[in-house]
Chain A
């Protein structure tokens, strides 16, 4: 049975090293839960299991207290006040609440929203949805390095613009946008600034006051917390921001998001934030050194390219294209590494990564990309192994590749008329 086979495979231990294979280098997709987070959550399942909204007995009070404490931690990691945190089921829901909530609340002020082509689908699909409800959305292109052009942003602002939504750090290429400058431009024109900071929170310092952010979405499962819980920060002062609730029924979270709170999840989220605040600085230093070592070793391969700006980038991400080798095939060769690819073959739609295409990457380079996402539990040994396996796999696949052969023969592939199919 497939499930057992996969699970057995996951448990296989490499004989020569003490590493567990496959090695997980896809921390942008999700992260393993920190054991300290799991420990913090466990009592809230069947010992302190009360509903945090039960006002009248100790079960409720204990749960409420735990939520309050977690809320403080979640607020602290982004420099916010705990009254400004709305718990949701994740960053996707937080993005939905922010964009739909602002659009509905500020309809009389305007209907124009500005975002970028490289946002996560949680933002892009929500924007597409409100376009059908009368919103006008501008999708700003990005430069070849993935950063937006601030002059283009300013030129796109109008008196009808109510929201600028630009992600803090990109999930595919790790690029960090000039958030402070973007916020300043949004405010200059009287618009709110929202950021999907899912990949940035807990990895680099994020401060809603210093950065000028009015709404911010993030989630627990990217920072070694549980899946199924996230938060939307909604500014209360200077200005006081409001969002129309998208989940009705009971008025939880100051009427902005109804539904019984996921107490164990929230406790875990709080603990994950607490740990990140303590360990972020040293972790970022360690991970960026490891990432640079991985990247620079792989760039020793001929015709390999890093995608996205390397200076303004999250410390744990490297997105690299290996020309003339296809991404899914490469991941299959690298079966002992868990990574992801911008190749069409790996997406359900057979379209290559829209983020890489937004950088202006040719289709064949987009198909040849691999995203490495290092994390708290990534070891030096694992990175060394990843380097070895990746180099071997790229070399092997190039031997199988007609494009590599043609390149080596000096044939200009752009001059060939490919047979349609």
Chain B
């Protein structure tokens, strides 16, 4: 299976690798996946007083598509409000990276990580977490 150029690019030059201070109230952390599945993503967002995401960082244990999905996610998160960020759909990631069917679950995990990070921030700041009601493809 040959990887798409975009996946290779994100993989070779990952954007926003790193760690934010998870004890801060301005930081939301989403840790999803499990080592047994071969996929663990940690996505973190830095949010300002207007609920705008000013920074995002990730670290991922997983295949090239998983790394690319989470790297792309951090790119998309920066500059969005937490409400808009909640609307990021895994199929957007699939399309952007040209992920084959067998790798779609990587994009799903990235979407879960985004939502988990936002909800973590919401809960820390006295807001209700938003339940993800949709079914994944």
Chain A residues in the interface with B (C-beta under 8 A): 2, 5-6, 324-329, 332-333, 343-345, 348, 350, 352, 362-364, 367, 399-405, 413, 418-421
- How far apart sit A6 and B1, CA to CA, in the bound complex (Å)? 10
Query: How many angstroms from the CA of A395 to the CA of B127 in the assembled complex?
Result: 39
Starting from the known contacts A352-B38, A362-B36, A421-B32, 4 additional A-B residue pairs (CB-CB under 8 Å) come to A326-B38, A363-B35, A367-B35, A419-B116
Given known A-B contacts A400-B14, A421-B109, A328 and B40 have beta carbons under 8 A apart: no
B130 within 8 A of A: no
18 residue pairs of the A-B complex, CB under 8 angstroms, read A326-B66, A327-B38, A332-B3, A343-B38, A344-B37, A345-B62, A348-B102, A352-B38, A362-B36, A363-B35, A363-B37, A400-B67, A401-B59, A402-B42, A403-B35, A405-B19, A418-B35, A421-B37
**A2 to B3, alpha carbons, bound, how many Å?**
10
Closest chain A residue to B43, Cβ basis = A402
A402 touches B37 (CB 8 A): no
Contact between B108 and A329 (Cβ–Cβ < 8 Å)? no
Whether the Cβ atoms of B37 and A400 lie closer than 8 Å is no
Nearest 8 Cβ contacts at the A-B interface = A364-B35, A363-B36, A418-B34, A328-B63, A367-B38, A402-B42, A402-B59, A345-B63
Report chain A residues within 8 Å CB of B40. Answer: 402-403, 418
Contacts of B41 in A (CB 8 A): 402
Decide: A364 and B36 in contact? CB cutoff 8 A: yes
What chain B residues lie within 8 Å of A5 (beta carbons)?
2
Give the residues in chain B near A405, CB-CB below 8 Å. 19, 59
Task: Determine the distance from Cα of A179 to Cα of B102 in the docked complex, in whole angstroms.
Answer: 39
For A413, the chain B residues whose CB sits under 8 A away are 35
Chain A facing B: main interface SS:
helix
Q: Is the CB of A329 within 8 A of B33?
A: no
B residues with CB within 8 A of A: 2-3, 8, 11, 14, 17, 19, 31-42, 59-64, 66-67, 102, 105, 108-109, 112, 116
Instruction: Determine whether the beta carbon of B31 is less than 8 Å from that of A419.
Output: yes
- Asked if A6 and B19 sit within 8 Å, CB to CB, the answer is no
Complex: A120 Cα to B8 Cα, angstroms: 32
Minimal beta-carbon separation of B93 from chain A (angstroms): 15
Closest chain B CB from A106 CB (angstroms): 42
Q: Is the CB of B59 within 8 A of A400?
A: yes
Closest Cβ neighbor of A345 among chain B residues: B63
Q: Is the CB of A325 within 8 A of B61?
A: yes
Q: Are A421 and B112 in contact (CB under 8 A)?
A: yes
Instruction: Name which of A362, A363, A399, A419 has the most chain B CB atoms within 10 A of its CB.
Output: A419
- Nearest chain A CB to B11 CB, angstrom units: 6
The chain B residue sitting closest to A398, CB to CB, is B61
Complexed CA–CA distance, A351 and B112 (Å): 21
Contacts of A419 in B (CB 8 A): 31-34, 112, 116
Evaluate contact between B38 and A363: CB separation under 8 angstroms. Answer: yes
Contact check, A329 vs B63: say whether CB atoms are below 8 A apart.
Answer: yes
**A residues near B102, Cβ cutoff 8 Å:** 348, 350
A329 to B69, CA, bound (A): 13
Which chain A positions have C-beta within 8 A of B34? 418-421
Given A332-B3, A352-B38; A401-B61 close (CB under 8 Å)? yes
In the assembled complex, the CB of A280 is this many whole angstroms from the nearest CB of chain B, namely 35
A367 vs B63: C-alpha distance in the bound complex, in angstroms? 10
Q: How many Å lie between the Cα of A362 and that of B34 in the bound state?
A: 12
B38 / chain A contacts, CB cutoff of 8 Å: 326-328, 343-345, 352, 363-364, 367
> Which residue of chain A lies nearest to B8 when distances are taken between CB atoms in the complex?
A332
Distance in angstroms from B70 CB to nearest chain A CB is: 9
Bound complex: CA of A171 vs CA of B67, how far in Å? 29
- What is the bound-complex CA distance between A129 and B115, given in angstroms? 45
A411 CA to B19 CA, complexed, in Å: 16
| Interchain CA distance A327-B61 in the complex, whole Å | 10
Query: Please, which residues of chain B bring their CB within 8 A of the CB of A367?
Result: 35, 38
Q: How far is the CA of A5 from the CA of B11 in the complex (A)?
A: 19
A326 touches B63 (CB 8 A): yes
Considering the complex, give the chain A residue whose CB is closest to the CB of B136. A421
